[in-house]
Amino acid sequence: MNGKITFALLSIGVLAFACGRPRAVETLSKVRTTKSHGPALTPSLAVNARGANDAVHFDFVVSNTGNKKLEVSFPSGQTHDMIVLDSLGREVWRWSTKRMFTSALQNKVMREHDTLTFNDEWSHAAPGRYTAVARLASANYPMEQRAAFVVK
Are the beta carbons of 42 and 62 closer than 8 angstroms? yes
Beta-carbon-side half-sphere exposure of residue 139 (alpha carbons within 13 Å): 10
Residue 26 has pLDDT above 50, yes or no: no
Name the pTM for this structure. Answer: 0.72
Secondary structure (H, E, C), 27-72: HHHHHHHHCCCCCCEEEEEEEECCCHHHCEEEEEEEEECCCCCEEE
Average model confidence (pLDDT) for the chain?
A: 82
| Amino acid letter, residue 24 | A
| pLDDT for res 54 | 79
| pLDDT for res 125 | 92
Residue 43 has pLDDT above 60, yes or no: yes
User: Domain residue spans in the chain?
Assistant: 1-35, 41-151
Number of residues that make up the chain: 152
Over residues 79-104, mean pLDDT: 96
Residue 123 has pLDDT above 60, yes or no: yes
Residue 74 to residue 94: CA distance in whole angstroms? 19
CATH 2.60.40.2360 is the classification of domain 41-151 = yes
